[in-house]
Amino acid sequence: MTVVPGRPDQAGLSDVAEPLDDEGSVLLETLVVGLCGTDAEIVEEGVGYPPPGADALVLGHEAVARVLAAPASSGLAPGDLVTGIVRQPCPARCPACARGEWDYCSSGTYTEHGIRGSAGFGRERWRSEPAYLVPVPEPLGELGVLVEPMSVVCKALETARHVAARAYARPARVLVTGAGPIGLLAAGAAAASGFEVTVLDRMRTGVKPTLAAKLGAAYTDDLDALGGIDTDDIFTANGGAQFDVVLECSGATGVIARAATTLGQNGVMVLIGIAGHGSDRVQLGMVTNALIRSNGALVGTVNAGRRHYADAVDTLLRLDREWLTQLITRRVALEQWPTALTRSDDDVKVVVQFPAR
């Protein structure tokens, strides 16, 4: 699955060389690849870039693969299912990368499979070192394609808890804005952790409110119904519902601004969804004053570390398998993979199915 970033007309299938032995001691074959908004941005907007010396980028940073060959010391055996860790450490081994926290790389020279400077998992065969592979348990099977996006959610929840602890707070009520794949996985993870969950999305009917309801989460398409205020007056009391944590997964700047005003005292808002190009401006005063008034915190997070992948596997295993299966709303054949980038309102997670061998 290759593309010249920013050239949608170049998105298609290409023949690439077999993976070289020095790319990793474990040989893998891809079964399923998930596509997300990042992939669409790479194709349409030119975000990301190919490896040095390559004209095209192999896409795919969400995947389930089967082990074809592995050294005995790896702990893996032929037939095992795994997913790959997206971000790889920087060459300089900055302090974060040196201790295995590549998602917090401080040098900025990391690479990311299928995004930045490294071929993705959207190819029939690839290699990796065991340190960058995460086993997918048999009960998950091909649903392991959700491990990578869930790892991002697990890091966001970890961040929220860490920041909330500054005030000895015990978060209980969570607002998730946006009911795409990340948003619904965030709702699932929060519900599985015992939080009271509310989901906000523009869709009034269809699969998204249905999936939220199956989690026991409240669902609304009305931002005004969530409380908060539409003012930059720091002395105006915050009325209505007050959330301890907001997990922002929509990337809609107007939603971000108003959702910030729904934070209760010592609340934390974690930005996960990236605002699209040409996003509307927001009333910065409204956001900053809302945070000051509530001792609130606003923090961004991206990517995930190995421990978050492990947390993701555990979280997915705690969720109902049938519910997880319903998150995958469309499967696309490899030959037609570019069509997966065009989403309908009822699409949640769209995946590309690789041919069985």
- Residues 44-86 have pLDDT tens digits of 999 999 999 999 999 999 999 999 999 999 999 999 999 999 9
Q: Report if residue 345 sits inside a domain.
A: yes
Can you give the CATH number for the domain in which 162 is found? 3.40.50.720
Residues 184 and 285 in one domain: yes
| Per-position b or e across 69-83, b if 16+ CB within 10 A of its CB | ebeeebebeeebbbb
Q: What local confidence, expressed as pLDDT, does residue 311 receive? A: 98
Q: Cα–Cα distance between 256 and 91 in angstroms, integer?
A: 36
User: Which of 25-29, 73-77, 161-165, 237-241 is the least confident region?
Assistant: 237-241
Q: What local confidence, expressed as pLDDT, does residue 72 receive? A: 95
Domain count, the chain: 2
DSSP for 225-241, please give it: GG---S---TTSPP-S-
Q: What region does 51 belong to: left with phi over 0, alpha with psi -120 to 50, or beta?
A: beta
Q: Report if residue 315 sits inside a domain.
A: no
Can you give the CATH number for the domain in which 112 is found? 3.90.180.10
Confidence of residue 230 (pLDDT cuts 50, 70, 90): low
Residues 161 and 289 in one domain: yes
Residues 209 and 235 in one domain: yes
> What's at 43, amino acid-wise?
V
Residues 162 and 293 in one domain: yes
- Residues 313-332 have pLDDT tens digits of 999 999 999 999 999 999 99
Residues 19 and 105 in one domain: yes
| Domain span including residue 36 | 2-135+327-353
Query: What is the average per-residue pLDDT within 22-34?
Result: 97
Residues 49 and 176 in one domain: no
Q: Cα–Cα distance between 257 and 321 in angstroms, integer?
A: 35
**Strand 7-12 vs strand 57-58: parallel, antiparallel, or unpaired?**
unpaired
Q: Report if residue 145 sits inside a domain.
A: no
User: In this prediction, what percent of the chain has a pLDDT beyond 70?
Assistant: 94
Residues 203 and 295 in one domain: yes
Confidence of residue 193 (pLDDT cuts 50, 70, 90): very high
Residues 291 and 343 in one domain: no
Question: Which structure tokens are listed for 199?
Answer: 């989901």
Q: Report if residue 177 sits inside a domain.
A: yes
H helix or E strand, kind and range, residue 34: strand 26-35
Q: Report if residue 143 sits inside a domain.
A: no
Residues 39 and 70 in one domain: yes
H helix or E strand, kind and range, residue 44: helix 37-45
Question: pTM of the prediction?
Answer: 0.95
Residues 275 and 158 in one domain: yes
Q: Cα–Cα distance between 263 and 294 in angstroms, integer?
A: 7
User: In this prediction, what percent of the chain has a pLDDT beyond 90?
Assistant: 83
User: Which of 144-148, 239-243, 271-275 is the least confident region?
Assistant: 239-243
Q: Report if residue 168 sits inside a domain.
A: yes
Residues 201 and 339 in one domain: no
Residues 111 and 156 in one domain: no
Q: Report if residue 307 sits inside a domain.
A: no
Q: Determine the Cα angle at 314 with ends 105 and 84, to 5°.
A: 45
- Residues 273-284 have pLDDT tens digits of 887 655 666 677
Q: What local confidence, expressed as pLDDT, does residue 293 receive? A: 86
Query: What is the average per-residue pLDDT within 288-302?
Result: 91
Query: What is the average per-residue pLDDT within 86-94?
Result: 96
